[in-house]
Amino acid sequence: MTTDSTTMTENMMTALGLDRPESGDDTVVPFTLDKLDTRGRSVRLGDSLDTILNRHNYPAPVARLLGEAVVLASLIGSSLKFDGKFIMQTQTDGPVNLIVVDFDAPDGLRGYARFDHDALLRAAEEGRTKPSELLGNGHLAMTIDQGAHTERYQGIVALQGNSLEEVAHTYFMQSEQIPTQVRLAVAEFTKKGDHRPHWRAGGVLIQHLPEHGGTRVADLPGDGNFDNPDHNFVEADGWNEAKVHLSTLDDLELADPDLSSERLLFRLYHETGVRVFAPMPMVERCTCSPDRIEDMLATNFTAEDREEMAVDGEIEVVCEFCSTAYHFNPNQFEAKH
């Protein structure tokens, strides 16, 4: 027998998006905090991240930093409403001088980090292994590529010893004028019977996006410095409350393999209410292929260049992302191209 209270509970669960099994690893869960004029996404990465980080056997500090970048790219790239690519890249003067993460919509992830081994060793010996210390000074670029016959959109923000969380806040405020808060965490977990630890990560991104006509950012300070006491910038109460709750998250909760996005969000926002949507899968997938590499060699290099590249009559190209090796005969291009 179905009672009115049972029906009401079922309707409420449906409205909140909780009438389904909890999502697991390698998913992004969109959500809204309607009472707080806030929307966001929560990501949990397991096997996909572990594959990316273990493929190159990165030292632990580099792996954690690249892991944070992969989580951030997942949170931002999963908002794309079209087939295309979101590319996040840092170029800095620190021990980890290059990070590239590609999000191939709707669900593909790949990432790569380049580091100076000697500089990293010195930093480790001196205890300088925080993300800001590994990155140093430089910039972070975020690029949206919708494919052929379209213009790329790119936003660039200075990276001056800041964490990726802080850089994301600055990017959205300066480039998009959207108040944004991000939490990222990467950790290694070992379960009984595992032959090695496994990398995993979690992250949450929230943005103040009122739907009832309010401005996203009121009275932006002209100097862009929100700590300047000479301006009257006031954030909405709902947005402040959403940020306060997010700030209570610790790294263990974000990376906990037994804590789903739905359970985490309910733990954070059950008092104000949270509505979650269907999870979006994330997979480790490289976009390299023999045809793409061959076309690159034919288009960007002359016959003389290709002859110089050849070793024992063969050109070898190794993908920096997935480490797949491709081999070509330098003479094959003349006939085909």
- Positive or negative, the CA dihedral 94, 96, 97, 100 is negative
> Which of the residue ranges 1-10, 13-22, 34-43 has the most confident prediction, judged by mean pLDDT?
34-43
Strand (E) or helix (H) holding 280: strand 280-281
Give tens-digit pLDDT for 279-318: 999 999 999 999 999 999 998 888 888 989 989 889 999 9
Which of 226, 228, 261, 292 shows the shortest CA–CA distance to 46? 261
pLDDT tens, residue by residue, 184-242? 999 999 877 778 889 999 999 999 987 654 444 443 333 444 455 544 446 788 999 99
Q: CA end-to-end span of the chain, whole Å?
A: 73
Given this model, what pLDDT does residue 53 score? 95
Please tell me the pTM assigned to this model: 0.85
Burial (CB count <10 Å: 0-12, 13-18, 19+), residue 240 = middle
- Express each pLDDT in 237-256 by its tens digit: 899 999 999 999 999 999 99
Residue 275 has pLDDT above 60, yes or no: yes
- The pLDDT assigned to 227 comes to 53
What residues contact residue 308 under an 8 Å CB cut-off, 6+ apart?
A: none
Assign 7 a pLDDT band (cuts: 50, 70, 90): low
Question: 66-70, 181-185, 280-284, 319-323 — which is least confidently predicted?
Answer: 319-323
Q: How confident is the model at residue 11 (pLDDT cuts 50, 70, 90)?
A: low
C-alpha–C-alpha distance, residues 322 and 300, integer Å: 22
pLDDT at position 215 is 46
Is the pLDDT at 333 greater than 60, yes or no? yes
Residue 147 has pLDDT above 90, yes or no: no
